[in-house]
Amino acid sequence: MARAFKGPREELAAIGAELCSPPPRGPELNAIERMWHPAMYEVCPECVHTTAEAVGTAVGQALNRQRAHQRINSALHPSRSDVERADQHRGPPRPSRAERQLAPMTLSLSNIDLNLLIPLHALLMERSVTKAAERVAVGQPAMSASLARLRRWFDDPLLVRHGRQMELTPLAESLAPQVDELLAGMRAVLSAGARFDPSVDHRVFTMVASDYVATVLLHPLLRELSAVAPNVRINIVALPSRFADHLRRGQLDMLIWPPGLLGEELSVFPNTALFSDEFVAVMDEHHPDVGTTLSTAQLSTLPYVKIVGPTLSVAEARLDQCGVSRQVVATTGTFTNGILLVQGTRKVLIAPRRLFDRFGAALGLRSVTLDPSFPQLIEAMYWHPKNTIDPGHRWLRERLQHVAGNL
C-alpha cells in the first residue's frame, strides 16, 4: 500500500532525511538499489509530493519482502535462541495421555489450568453445554471453548451425542465423583472461616419432602423461620426420578424420606434421622363397623383408600408382606388427600398418627390402633457431602433437628 505524505514542507524534509539513511541490506534490495539512492537524494525541502510517494512505495515493498524472507528463513532454520524464546512463550509442554496415566504424581499444578474445574464439573453434572453454561453463568461459546480445551487435555471427547441427548464417556463417568469430591474439598477450605447470619443473609433451600413431612415438620419450621430468618426461603418439590443426580448436581439441598424406601442409592449420602411416627387406621367418627382396634382380617373386608406414589409406603409394604388383601375403592398420592376421602364414608385409611392429630378431629374423623401393630415410620434427612460443612446448610439441619425434637 502506497504511503501518502501530506503536510508542510518542513515535514517532507524530515521524512526525506529519515528515508535517506543507509538502506537495510538484503538480496531483495539489489534490484532497486540504482533507483533507490538517486530518489533519496532528490527528497529535500523543495521536493514535490509525488517523488516522496514513489520513494515510500518502493522502499516499503522492498522492506516487506526482506522481512518476509527473514521470517521464512527463521522458520525453516531456527536458531537456538529462537527455539528458547518460542518455548518460553508456549510454556511447559502438555504431557501425553499415556504420560499422565503412567506418572500421575509427577504432574505439577503449574501445568494445569485450575479454572477449568468449574466448567468441567458443570459439564459432567448437566451433560449439556447449554445447561452447563447457564449453571456457571457464562455464554455458550465460552463453555464450548472450555469443553474443547478439556477434550484436548484428557484426550477424550467427554461428552458424546446419543440421539437427541449428550452422554458421558466412560472416562467422564469416572471423573464425575472425583471432580465432585475435589470441589467439595476446595469449598471446605475456602469456607472454613465463613459465617451464616440467618437474620440478614439471603438463602434459598430446595428440598424433597412428602405432604406428610411438609404438614408435620416443615410447617412449624417455616413459622419459626419467619421470625428468625426472614430472608431464607424453602422450596419444597416432588421426588424426582433421578434424585441422587439432583443431589450431586446441587439441584437439591436436602431430601427428607423414610430410610430404605429409595434403595441403596440414597444410603451413600450423609443422613440423620429426624423423628418417628406410628401408623393408625383413620375413618369417619361414626363408622359403624370398627371399634377401638382394627385387625388386618377386618381391614380386608372394608372399602380401602390406598396411598400410591413414587415409592411404596411403609404401611403398604407391611400389608403386602403379611399377605393382607384390600378392597381398594380409591387411590391417591398423598396422605392428606386420603384423609379427606374417608370423611363421611365407610372407607378406611392407614396413615401416620401425627398427621391425623393435626386436623383429623376437626374433619369429624377418628383413629384406632392396628392389630398387629405396624413398624414405626422414620423420617430422615439426606444431603450431599459437599454441604456438610456449609454454614447455611448446617444451620438449616440444626433448625430441622430442633423442630423435630419438639414435635
Q: What is the pLDDT of residues 163-189, one digit of tens each?
A: 888 889 999 988 888 887 788 777 767
The model's confidence at residue 35, banded by pLDDT at 50, 70 and 90, is very low
pLDDT, tens digit, 9 for 90 and up, residues 109-161: 566 778 888 899 889 888 899 989 988 888 999 999 999 999 998 899 999 98
What is the strand order of the sheet 279-284 is part of?
293-295, 365-371, 279-284, 349-352
pLDDT of residue 54: 46
Q: What is the percentage of the chain residues whose pLDDT exceeds 90?
A: 39
Query: Which amino acid is located at 192 in the chain?
Result: A
Residues whose CB is less than 8 angstroms from the CB of residue 235 and which lie 6 or more positions away in sequence, other chains included? 204, 205, 206, 207
pLDDT at 44 > cutoff 70: no
Specify burial of residue 304 (Cβ count, 10 A radius: 0-12, 13-18, 19+): buried
Single-letter residue type at 144: S
Share the mean pLDDT of the chain: 78
Q: Which CATH number fits domain 108-190: 3.30.870.10, 3.40.50.150, 3.30.750.24, 1.10.10.10?
A: 1.10.10.10
The arrangement of secondary structure in 279-375, i.e. its CATH architecture, is 3-Layer(aba) Sandwich (3.40)
Q: Give me the mean pLDDT over the 311-320 stretch.
A: 81
Cis previous bond, 372, omega within 30 = yes
**Residue 253: per-residue pLDDT:** 93
Q: What is the pLDDT of residue 18?
A: 47
Supply the DSSP symbol for 214: I
* Residue predicted with more confidence, 52 or 236: 236
Model confidence at 191, pLDDT cuts 50, 70, 90, reads: low
The CATH 3.40.190.10 portion of the chain extends over 203-275+379-405, 279-375
Buried b (16+ CB within 10 A) or exposed e, 215-234: bbbbeebbeebeeebeebeb
Q: Which DSSP helix (H) or strand (E) runs through 80?
A: helix 80-90
Pick the more confident residue, 217 or 325: 217
Q: How far apart are CA 62 and CA 68, in angstroms?
A: 10
Residue 233 pLDDT level (bands cut at 50, 70, 90): very high
pLDDT at 350 over 60: yes
Domain 203-275+379-405's class? alpha beta
% of the chain surpassing 70 pLDDT: 71
Look at the chain and count its residues: 407
What number is the average pLDDT over the span 218-225? 95
Q: C-alpha 297: how far from its chain's center?
A: 51
d(CA 125, CA 130): 12
Which residue in this structure is represented by grid cell 424426582?
240
Residues 68-89, mean pLDDT to the nearest whole number: 52
CB 348 within 8 A of CB 282: yes
- Asked whether the beta carbons of 365 and 339 are under 8 A apart, the reply is yes
Nearest to 128 by CA among 245, 237, 239: 245
